[in-house]
Copies of this chain bind each other. A is one copy, B any other.
Amino acid sequence: MKIPKPTVKRLAVYYRCLDNMLNEGKTYVSSKELAERLKIKSSQVRKDLSYFGEFGKRGVGYNVKNLIAELKKIIGIDRRWRVVVVGAGNIGRAITNYPGLYKNRFDVIAVFDSDPAKIGLSAGVAGPVKPMSDLKEVVSSKKVEIGVIAVPAEAAQDVAEQLVDAGVKGIVNFAPVTIDVSPEIVVEDVDITVSFKTLAYHLRKYGKNR
């Protein structure tokens, strides 16, 4: 079954919201409540969840714990994933030490940098920064599947190729440039400035209407 990409992203957002609700002590939730919390349409919630069969009971809603367990399986976080980060700058260190990643079952096991001055410095939870020459050995011996690119734009393509060569299957790219890798490698681009630009667009637009 081919799930549209925006649906996959929303499933991740539902998961987060349900996890927050569970912590608040909720046991059942309706699509309406979920939609209100996330400020989307409840028909959208029902449609997205219907891709995966019937979870909800009419009049009762979804069992929060069960829905979380189902979403975990669907998203693929009913297991842990091993991650390496390339780039020990501000962004690389922030990602490495972001508590949400570990909590969501992504383990950053090593951080790499090409700058000799950074090698050996602490990268927080992932231990000391390693040289790029260790990348291949670490990815292979630790069975790492995900690589994070947290280097400047001009270095991103080279790092992408080194990650693929080392054996990662997926890349989260924080560099502000589109990388070109073979189509069986899954790439997720995260451009921090895109969110600011989307905001600017809406601020300007709404500003005019005020």
Contacts and interface: CB of A to CB of B under 8 A. Distances in A.
Interface string A181-208: 0001010101111111111111111110
In the complex, the count of this chain's copies comes to 2
A178 B38 contact: yes
Contacts of A94: 90-91, 93-94
A20 interface: yes
A118 to B, nearest CB: 15
A38 B187 CA distance: 12
A80 B83 CA distance: 36
A202 B202 CA distance: 31
17 contacts: A6-B6, A8-B198, A8-B201, A12-B194, A20-B153, A39-B178, A81-B196, A90-B98, A98-B192, A100-B176, A100-B193, A104-B196, A106-B200, A170-B199, A184-B210, A188-B198, A190-B192
Interface of A: 3, 5-6, 8-9, 11-13, 15-17, 20, 37-39, 74-77, 81, 83, 90-91, 93-95, 97-98, 100-101, 104, 106, 145-146, 153, 169-172, 176-178, 184, 186, 188, 190-207, 210
